[in-house]
Amino acid sequence: MGQILLEVKNLKKYFHVAAGTLHAVDDVSFSIEEGRTLGIVGESGCGKTTMGRTILRLIEPTSGEVFFKGKDIGKLSASEMRFMRREMQIIFQDPFSSLNPRKTIAETIEEPILLANLIEDRDARFMRVLELMDTVGLAHRLINTYPHELDGGRRQRIGIARALAMNPKFIVCDEPVSSLDVSIQAQILNLMKTIQRDMGITYMFITHDLSVVNHFSDDIAVMYLGRLVEKAPSEALFEKPLHPYTEALLSAIPVPRIHNRNQRIMLKGELTSPINPEPVCRFAARCNQCMDVCTKVEPPLIEARPNHFVACHLHAAIS
């Protein structure tokens, strides 16, 4: 077991909306070891993006704690936090809207280095930009191009270079490949793996694509309506999912083969509302194994097998 880099304890983020309180992230706890990748999966509206941003304090949490290298970042002042953010970076989903259209590639990659005053010498800074472009596989001839001249894959490479400029320890990747074509998606995923191996970076990889998360992550956490419902090493989760939601989610993946396809579990209905949820299992209404207790008591997250956590009454009974 490696050293724990990031620990999240009872993290909550509620939004007050006209209809009541929206529980975007509701009492989530987990940790990530240094150099590993935790995949966060769930459908739209389950709170995965809000969680990623809350962990970086881009959104202030309602309550709960986030420890980075053992330090409670919720207690840091604005200037201390700015310093800490050098080590905690983010790669956004949409490389079209996350880049400034009026800045060239060089300016875009140079900006964080300038802001943090990392390298004062102009030539040295320029060398660093070139080095970062090499790392992410951008040809030097592109140095003076603007984002609109580039395709999605290259734009995402700029986003990665910018995140790497600070020599971060930890990167939140929010759907980094979902807007890319499959052949380009594979290029970016391989690049991110190489970077992790070479620089020992820890990733939190947020996605809705289960085949991608399985390939990319060491551990996977499944979210449903703001709750963490299951967390396990990737193999264990895919081999023996414990939560009925995870099971349905895995069976819904369209697998690109025509023989030996598994029977699908069809979920009835759609996501219920995360506004003012009752203190019961949030998945109960769609669950095909729903019991009496599920509509009365909210199941806690328990360690049903070694390292395999699940929040479901089916397994609470067993342990």
Partner 1 sequence: MDAQQNMLEIKDLTVEYVVDDEVVHAATEVNITIPAGKTFGLVGETGAGKTTTALSILNLVPTPAGRIVSGEVLVKGQDVLEASPKQLRAMRGNQVAMVFQDPMTSLNPIKTVGEQIAEGVRIHRGVSDKEALGQAKKLLEMVGIPGGRMSEYPHQFSGGMKQRVVIAMALACDPDLLIADEPTTALDVTIQAQVLKLIRELKESSRMAMLMITHDLGIVAQVCDSVGIMYAGRIVECGTLADIFDDLRHPYTRGLFDSLPDIENRRAELKPIPGLIPDPVDLPPGCAFHPRCSYARPECSRDLPPTRWLSDTHHVSCHLYKDTAENMLSA
Residue numbers of the site for partner 1 (CB under 8 A)? 43-44, 151-154, 181-187, 189-190, 208, 210-212, 214-216, 234-235, 238, 248-249, 251-258, 261, 264, 266-267, 270-271
Minimum CB–partner distance for residue 306 and partner 1 (Å): 20
CB of 204 to partner 1, least distance (A): 18
Whole-number minimum distance, CB 13 to partner 1, in Å?
21
- The residue (of 127 and 255) whose beta carbon lies closer to partner 1 is 255
How many Å apart are CA 207 and CA 150, to the nearest integer? 24
Least distance from C-beta 89 to partner 1, angstroms?
23
Backbone φ, ψ for residue 41 (5° rounding): -120, 155
Closest CB 222 distance from partner 1, rounded Å: 12
- CB nearer partner 1, residue 261 or residue 296: 261
Decide whether 271 or 316 has the Cβ nearer to partner 1. Answer: 271
Of 73 and 223, the one with the shorter C-beta distance to partner 1 is: 223
Closer of 56 and 180 to partner 1 (Cβ):
180
